Structure 1
């Protein structure tokens, strides 16, 4: 019979140290809405990554052009900018739950259109670009609401842990999705990849319906250009926030080579490894998230953002130099680990310092920082690959990333000196969170 009350490990023991590294599950245990959002996100992340692999592969098969594949980023760029900014204002002006629900349903319908095009006797190229642009628009509308609703369902002190758990969710889908997509496309065909993506959105909508309402403040203004500019002025006045946006955009623009992975797999004579290339970064990210118990103990978030972004670029440069596909995968995984560290501390700075009434608009600006960079990065990678070769496109972009991050760190001292313990905006956010808790307990 087991001891019903086994002794706790002594401080400093191996068991205690291991638990200190494991993810903090407090947000999952404390919030039913966080659990629903987490599960819905896990399902759709899996489906989205099926399409993430299937779409460029289908374009490669239909056109044979690296530039055509990289152009996906170009058609997604303008809708993402326009609707990302508008979506941020919308998230501050309406029920965030409704915005998430309706955009999720729309994304499912767009995946169904990809499926219909694929089962035609002669699939067309132009619908792939149209759907990619529309998906970008709906993503721009949805993502600010997803970001802005988090502090309403998770306690202020648990936000870094919630961010780590969300990162873990994304990585699970990012690993399983691309890996299975390669198998599904090879043995069952593209329609199965798109069909499973449609199914994932149906499940997500069913979970999202059960979220509690998240209405706008009673004095919230309607979405307007003035409101968007108000958010932009706030961001401009926060140089440490500007630094996180600039660092992420530079890293993604110079060192996001996903568009050329199908051609890299061909060049390394390892077409079987295409799915692994897409999922390698997520594997590295997963290792960080599974050992993320240390994240709440770090207070100088800005320095971690800079160091991790430079590590991302360096790892990508080394991946571009490697001739062995397994070494390429190892350094792609290392890059993913660095990107996750950077992302965790960027999100901590955003979530723990931005006032609730501005979260949607600031999340729209944030969306541009971490989404526009990859879109432009795809265009850069595809264009450079057509001029200099696939591997040169990868390693040169990695080195450019390291150089640009170093330059930005020198130019942004507020980012490097940021400390959540002493930052005035973080302290104000703690006071607001405490006041909301007091009101809720009194009611």
Structure 2
């Protein structure tokens, strides 16, 4: 055997695992959006910790704290669907900025209420509901603008970089929030959140306009239904929603982590249990360079969702808390892989004029799956025990993913190189880029 005349330089294989920074280098708008998201997400996590803590201090009731989820869910679903239609009909940059300003004003209300001699309870629920509504309006616009500001072949890398931003915030944000609230107080936490929104808006002002298509349909029930019909016709897209819903429904046991920690005689591990999934996700994101070279995205979605369920099933059997934490980290990494390729499929194949509405449907599945999973885990734990709830849910997840793989052949056969929808979107983007270059040259 002859030696390779052009051997790779030392360390090249390891560097190939590192995140692909191409979107960061090629797109100024992506850099602005990524940085703004990092800044504002830290502030959001501050409020996510401070708000329930303030309700606890005012009421002393676990039920009152839990009611936050109830007041947030419906606005997120309703306004998420409407926000998707709105994102297809208006300038997405303007929608992002206006909702960001609105979210900042809500943080200002929380700050003002916390500074009262006797802070009131009801504004906290009102702000929680309005924040959820504005998030529902904003999220589809953010999700759908990425496909415009990042080259088509860099969308997987962009999804990985966005995940790194989110996971860093998910790990560091709550930790910082705990310190800030404990040592500086609730008003300071709300004030920091307000400041992060101000910085985010300033960064967002630098984004290029993202005007809708000239024939964009105005937001309406008919427009939302059109997006739903398109999703229904695209069985591979429908499969990604179904796989994600099944994984969250059967194998999302976060609600019973406090009880699992007690059964393992390790109450000290509760915080680690909540953080383990994010640690796994970060590990995958930081070694995601390989993902841009994968083309069979549907198979990766299915396999990683099955691994998520299997890791949860093993976690329910193991007697060692450290092995349980390892399984939770593996599950988090698998969920990251699934999310990465789901996002790539959506961004590479959905026409721009429908992207907002489909992002609203994605938000619907993203929001309801974990909520239903919490109910499933808690209810089953009450019937058969905590450990059984975890491992049985994991096995049910694997079985349901296997059934979906058998009934959705288009999902398993999806190949980004040959898929007609991906090819059509790629050709439209190339044509638009050519027209823009011609106009600039003229």
After TM superposition, the score normalised by the length of structure 1 is: 0.88
Q: Does 1:105 pair with 2:101?
A: yes
Which of the residues 14, 17, 21 maps onto 1:21? 17
Per the TM alignment, residue 435 of structure 1 is displaced from its structure 2 partner at its CA by 0.4
Q: Does 1:37 pair with 2:33?
A: yes
Q: Structure 2 matches for 1:113-128, cutoff 5 A? A: 113-116=109-112, 127-128=123-124
Match of 1:95 in 2: 91
Per the TM alignment, residue 329 of structure 1 is displaced from its structure 2 partner at its CA by 2.9
Q: Distance in 2 between matches of 1:387 and 1:170?
A: 35
After TM superposition, the score normalised by the length of structure 2 is: 0.88
Contact 1:70 1:383 in 2 (8 A): no
SS in 1 for 2:418: coil
Q: 1:132 to 1:379 in 2, by over 3 A?
A: farther
Per the TM alignment, residue 353 of structure 1 is displaced from its structure 2 partner at its CA by 0.6
**In terms of mean alpha carbon deviation, does 407-416 or 50-59 score higher?**
50-59
Match of 2:393 in 1: 397
Q: 1:379 to 1:188 in 2, by over 3 A?
A: farther
Q: Distance in 2 between matches of 1:111 and 1:418?
A: 43
SS in 2 for 1:21: coil
Q: 1:405 to 1:386 in 2, by over 3 A?
A: same
Per the TM alignment, residue 155 of structure 1 is displaced from its structure 2 partner at its CA by 1.0
Per the TM alignment, residue 49 of structure 1 is displaced from its structure 2 partner at its CA by 2.6
Q: Distance in 1 between matches of 2:385 and 2:115?
A: 33
SS in 2 for 1:171: helix
Q: Does 1:141 pair with 2:128?
A: no
Which of the residues 252, 258, 267 maps onto 2:254? 258
SS in 2 for 1:352: helix
Q: Distance in 1 between matches of 2:140 and 2:313?
A: 32
Which of the residues 172, 177, 180 maps onto 1:176? 172
Q: Does 1:327 pair with 2:323?
A: yes
Match of 1:225 in 2: 221
**In terms of mean alpha carbon deviation, does 407-416 or 45-54 score higher?**
45-54
**Structure 1 spans left out of the alignment, 5+ residues:** 1-8
Q: Distance in 2 between matches of 1:189 and 1:18?
A: 44
**Structure 2 spans left out of the alignment, 5+ residues:** none
SS in 2 for 1:253: helix
Q: Does 1:421 pair with 2:424?
A: no
Q: Structure 2 matches for 1:132-281, cutoff 5 A? A: 132-261=128-257, 273-281=269-277
Q: 1:137 to 1:382 in 2, by over 3 A?
A: farther
What do residues 186-216 of structure 1 show as CA deviations (whole Å, max 9, x unaligned)? 4445554444333322221121122111111
Match of 1:6 in 2: none
**In terms of mean alpha carbon deviation, does 203-212 or 191-200 score higher?**
191-200
SS in 1 for 2:349: coil
Contact 1:40 1:207 in 2 (8 A): yes
What do residues 58-108 of structure 1 show as CA deviations (whole Å, max 9, x unaligned)? 66675554x665554433222122111110110011010111111112223
Per the TM alignment, residue 321 of structure 1 is displaced from its structure 2 partner at its CA by 4.3
